[in-house]
Structure formats: C-alpha cells, structure tokens
Structure 1
Amino acid sequence: MTGARPSRRLVLAGLATGFAAGAQAAAPAPVAVGSKLDLESALLGAMVLLALREAGVPVIDRLRLGPTSLVRQALLAGAIDVCVEYTGNAATFFQQEGDPVWRDAAKGYERAAALDLARNGLVWLSPAPADNSWIIAVPRAPARRHGLTSLADFARRVAAGGRARLAASAEFVESPAGLPAFEAAYGFRLGADQLLVLSGGETIATMKAAADAISGVDAAMAYRTDGALDALGLVALEDPLRSQPVYAPAPVLRAATLEAWPAARAALAPLFAGLDVETLRALNARVAVDGEDPAAVARGHMARRGAP
C-alpha cells in the first residue's frame, strides 16, 4: 500500500523553501572592515564602512584592530576583507626598503598593487592624493625668523651651529627610513644632546614639545597629515630631495571580496580621490585637537561631500 500523496500546496512550499535556502547560501558574506589603532586609520576606516554601507554592501565593523603588522596578518588570513594601507609600507612588506621606486607616488603604488595581487590576491584601489610620510616640523615664528621652509634650510642651520633640538620617537631616530634618511640626504647630523627621545613617540607629544619649547626642543617629528600642525603653530619642512617613501592611503581588498561586491570599487574611488593633504589635516584636527569621535567626523565629511 502506497503512502498518501503530498498536496500540490506542500510541494510548492517545499520548493520555495529549498530555493530560498539556496539563495541564502549563495549570497556573498558581509565585508569585514578593519583598521589600525591610530586616529587617522580609525577615521579612514569609518569612511570605508559608511561608503560601502551606502553602496548597499553589508559590512562588519572591525575597526581599530591593532598595529600595522596585526592588521596586515588579519587581511592575509581573511579575518578582515578590507583595510586602508599606506603605499610606503609595501616596501617593508616585500623587503624592498632600499628601492627608490617607493619615493615616487605613482610608481610606488603600481609596485605595491602588482606585488600584492600576484603574491597574495589583494587588490589596491586608487590611493588618496596625500602623503603621510614622516616630516620634521618647526614652530612658525622661528621658521620665519630663520627662513626655514625645507629640510635643506634646516640642514644649513644645523651645520652653521644654529640651535636645534628635535623631539622624536625611538623608531624615528633609529629607523633607516627616519632621521638617518633625512641626515644622509641633506648632509647634517644631530648629536645625542640634540635629541629628546620620547617613549611611545606619539606625534602629538613631539609636536607639543616643540610648540612649547619643552626642554629646549625647537623641532618635532611629525606626519605630513597630522591634524595638530596648524593648531600648534608648526610648519612642516618640505623634503625636496624626496628622502622618504610616499605613504599614500589606499583601500586594500581581498580579490574575492571585490569579485563578490564589485560596487565597492565605485563606492571608494571618489571618496579617496577627495582626500588630499589639506583635507586630511583638517579632518584629523577635529579628532586629535577637538576630541571628536572618528566615526562622527567621518559621517560629517561624508554628508558634506554629498553622500546620501
């Protein structure tokens, strides 16, 4: 004796359930957005989150995950799908620190993009027209008084015996890409008595030391996009010999993520195209100087540039 025949309604309901389950299984996973701990990275990460969300891409917030090394490993391992990285860091990732290509914005970006795609399946989208490389900054008044606009001017003053004491981190003083690169390019040398090495080396501390002449400091290690430069009355000395790699921020995604969510490219391209040095400094100042939340600053910036 055969069993009861299922009704047409039950068959259709079962098919619908099966199709729905299949569609759900085929849906791409949400995009995990990570960032580093520093304020600028948190700000840029928040912008990436907002831009993707507005483009209809579901996102997971994994901002302020850790330092560069941890975020890089998370991206390689697939624990995050996208982060903002700086082109100059690729020189370290691929052990090419001595190659002059990293001092050229366009060529450095092209090298980073090619290497990461070929070796790691990572896609570098177009970078911002900004450079967050190390700089030396001096207070505005003495800069005017002594005609200091570039590192060449600073080097001449040091060589002539002019007063100079630099506040910096140990990393900046010891890294070949930091102070030694400036000294080699411009032919000056700061002695131990001309350095105030601050533990931790946060640039807000080094800049504050120079602005307030703490312990005789009259120059500071900083970053080109630091938001506190203008607020503290400091001048970023230009580096005409391009002794530093270019550190242009760019979104870096797993290739599989971009394939699953192609709208990400169009969502992020105009955002980063508008982030020049002046814009980043102004946004960073709201976070570092005014104490605003990076996510709130990101929302305000996105709203002003016409995001829905």
Structure 2
Amino acid sequence: MRKKLLFTITITLVLMVASMGVFAQAKKITAGAKDFTEQYIVGHMSAILLQENGFDVDLKMGTGSTITRNALVSGQTDLYPEYTGTYWLTYAKHEEVINDPEELYNKVKKEDLEENGIVWLERSDINNTYAMALTKEQAAETGIETLSDLAEYVNENQDLIWAIDHEFADRPDGLPGLAEHYGMNIPEDNIKIMEIGLTHEAIDRGQADITMVFATDGKIKKFDLVVLEDDKQFFPVYNLCVTIREEVLNEYPEIEEILKPIAELTNEAIQ
C-alpha cells in the first residue's frame, strides 16, 4: 500500500513538472516596427493579436527602415509591417516603378521569399505613399496644385523652404529622386532636415513652406494641408503587409490567420 502511494505521488509530481515545462515553453515572438505613427499603431495591433492567441511578444519599435529591415533578415526580430514600394525601390534597388498594387505585391512576395526567406502576408489596402503638401494659404497664393506646378515654381523663384525628415532626404524614392524626376533645382540652403514628427509643426509655425507627408497621415487634416497631385507618377505604391521570417511562419503557421485583421485595414481606418 505504501509503495503504491509512493508510486502515485511520484507519477503525480512527474506530470506536474512536465506540465510546468510545457507552460514555461511559451510561444515567443519578437515583433518590430519603424519610427512613425502608423507603424506604432500596426506594431501594437500585431502584438495584441498575437498575445490574445497565446504568444509571448517582445515588441521593439522606433527604428528607421534599414535598421528594422536588417533586424528581420538577420533574425533579431521575427516579423514587422513593411511596404511593397519600400522593398522594391529601397532594399532591392529596382529602378522600375510599378504602380499596379497587385503586380508589385506579387513580385515583391516572390522575390523576397526566394532571395531572403521572408514571407509577405496578405496585402492591405493601406497605401502609405509619400506626398508633398502645402498649407491652403500657400497653395492659394502660389497656385501650386501639382508636383509639376511645384517644379515650375521652384525653378523660377527658389524661395520655398522645405521641411523633410532624414530618410526622405536620402532615399531614392524621396527628395533626390523626386527632384530628378520633376526637374527641380532646389537650393540646399532651402532644405531643413528634422525629425519626422517636427515637419508638420514647422509648416504650422511658418518655419517652412512645403513638407513631405504620408498619404495615411492624420496630420494632413489636423494642419489643414493641401496634398499636391503626383501628376507624373513618381511615388510608387506602398501597400502595407506584415513581413515574417519563413522559418518562424513554418513553426507557427497560425500566425497568418491571427494577423489577418491587419490586411483588412484601409487608409481611412489608420488615419
């Protein structure tokens, strides 16, 4: 009887220890996000969706595009929201601009998986493309409505002050490419480079005349800005998708379904 009781207690303890081990081995994910509002929103959304489905999430946010991307490719993070146009032009350095969202998505998805082992989950309708914006007063005073109008004005007057962030100042799909595409001659002294969160405030305070914005940026409405038409189609499509390392998705295939609500987001919803 005593041996039977001891055996029962031993088995019970073994099962308890085993179950504790199962709980200790939580499904861990390191999620990333870049350093602007939309990324913070989607980054937190990803973390919450995963946590609600039993994942232990370490959320790392606030880094620039290149650092965030490199962290994923090197395995320091497991997933983060990225944009089709950013991959195509900035990371892969393709010169061809593809304006069809589905065509670009399919090419990016195929290439990044084959070359880097990165899976692009379902494409959202969010198109966080760059744009240039003026205040309503400045637009009315100068008559600028399109980027071609802007180029003509800049080349004749050269008095507009630009407020842009560090990335836009250097990216091929930013100011350098924009100036070349539209034939703008912008004096270096007219360009103010600052943190991304300060560009709108510079316009509002009269410290600058024109700024770069994202199409999904709620501050366009807040500061009553006029977005200029990209009449020569320089800026590519920037649809948001969750990107994830293939090995991580193979280990946790349920992540694709868990994060599906992100693919249902729109520009209006994110503003």
Short-chain TM bin: 0.7 to 0.9
| 1:210 is the counterpart of 2:203 | yes
Q: Hey, what does 2:244 align to over in structure 1?
A: 253
1:202-259 Cα deviation digits (max 9, x unpaired): 2332222223322xx3211222222322211212212132212322221111223223
Among 158, 181, 189, the alignment partner of 1:185 is: 181
CA distance in 2, matches of 1:148, 1:202: 26
- Provide structure 1 residue ranges, at least 5 long, that are not aligned to the other structure: 1-5, 282-308
CA distance in 2, matches of 1:185, 1:28: 51
- In structure 2, relative to structure 1, the CA distance for the partners of 1:170 and 1:18 (3 Å cut) is closer
- In structure 2, relative to structure 1, the CA distance for the partners of 1:174 and 1:52 (3 Å cut) is closer
Structure 2 letter corresponding to 1:236? V
CA distance in 2, matches of 1:234, 1:65: 26
Q: Hey, what does 2:212 align to over in structure 1?
A: 221
| 1:123 is the counterpart of 2:119 | yes
SS in structure 1 of the partner of residue 107 of structure 2 = helix
CA distance in 2, matches of 1:158, 1:65: 34
- In structure 2, relative to structure 1, the CA distance for the partners of 1:249 and 1:135 (3 Å cut) is same
Percent of paired sites with the same residue: 25
With normalisation by structure 2, the TM-score equals 0.82
Q: Hey, what does 1:303 align to over in structure 2?
A: none
The structural deviation recorded for 1:171 is 4.5
- In structure 2, relative to structure 1, the CA distance for the partners of 1:153 and 1:209 (3 Å cut) is same
CA distance in 2, matches of 1:186, 1:246: 18
Q: Hey, what does 1:3 align to over in structure 2?
A: none
SS in structure 1 of the partner of residue 212 of structure 2 = strand
SS in structure 2 of the partner of residue 30 of structure 1 = strand
Checking the alignment, whether the CA contact within 8 Å between 1:204 and 1:228 is kept in structure 2 is: no
- In structure 2, relative to structure 1, the CA distance for the partners of 1:210 and 1:30 (3 Å cut) is same
- In structure 2, relative to structure 1, the CA distance for the partners of 1:246 and 1:70 (3 Å cut) is same
Structure 2 letter corresponding to 1:218? D
RMSD: 3.2
Among 172, 178, 185, the alignment partner of 1:176 is: 172
Structure 2 letter corresponding to 1:48? S
Q: Which moved more, 1:33-42 or 1:246-255?
A: 33-42
CA distance in 1, matches of 2:154, 2:146: 13
Structure 2 letter corresponding to 1:131? N
Number of aligned residues: 269
1:276-297 Cα deviation digits (max 9, x unpaired): 223222xxxxxxxxxxxxxxxx
Checking the alignment, whether the CA contact within 8 Å between 1:127 and 1:249 is kept in structure 2 is: yes
Q: Hey, what does 1:234 align to over in structure 2?
A: 225
SS in structure 2 of the partner of residue 221 of structure 1 = strand
With normalisation by structure 1, the TM-score equals 0.73
Q: Hey, what does 2:84 align to over in structure 1?
A: 87
CA distance in 1, matches of 2:62, 2:200: 26
Q: Hey, what does 2:270 align to over in structure 1?
A: 280
CA distance in 1, matches of 2:137, 2:165: 24
Among 38, 50, 53, the alignment partner of 1:52 is: 50
Among 11, 14, 18, the alignment partner of 1:17 is: 14
The structural deviation recorded for 1:191 is 2.6
Checking the alignment, whether the CA contact within 8 Å between 1:57 and 1:261 is kept in structure 2 is: no
1:61-103 Cα deviation digits (max 9, x unpaired): 22216333333233223332221122222135653231323x4
Checking the alignment, whether the CA contact within 8 Å between 1:57 and 1:264 is kept in structure 2 is: no
CA distance in 2, matches of 1:191, 1:16: 76
| 1:61 is the counterpart of 2:43 | no
